[in-house]
Amino acid sequence: NIMVSDQTVKNLAETFERSRGSLADRLMAALVAGQAGGGDKRGMQSAALLVVRKNGGYLGANDRFIDIRVYDAKDPITELARLLALHKLHFFPSEPQDLLPITPAVVAQLEPILLSEPASQAQKWLARPQGSATPAFLEALKNFMYWENYDVRVRMDGKIDRVVLEDVLRKRKT
pLDDT band at 59 (very low <50, low <70, confident <90, very high): confident
pLDDT digit string (tens) for 135-168?
999 999 999 999 999 999 999 999 999 999 999 9
Tell me the pTM: 0.83
> What ranges do the domains of the chain cover?
6-91, 96-171
Name the β-bridge partners of 3.
40
**pLDDT (0 to 100) of residue 33:** 96
**pLDDT (0 to 100) of residue 2:** 87
What is the arithmetic mean of pLDDT over 10-39? 96
How far does CA 9 lie from the centroid of its chain? 28
The CATH topology of domain 6-91 is Glutamine Phosphoribosylpyrophosphate, subunit 1, domain 1 (3.60.20)
| Residue 32 burial by Cβ neighbours in a 10 Å radius (0-12, 13-18, 19+) | middle
What average pLDDT is seen over the chain? 94
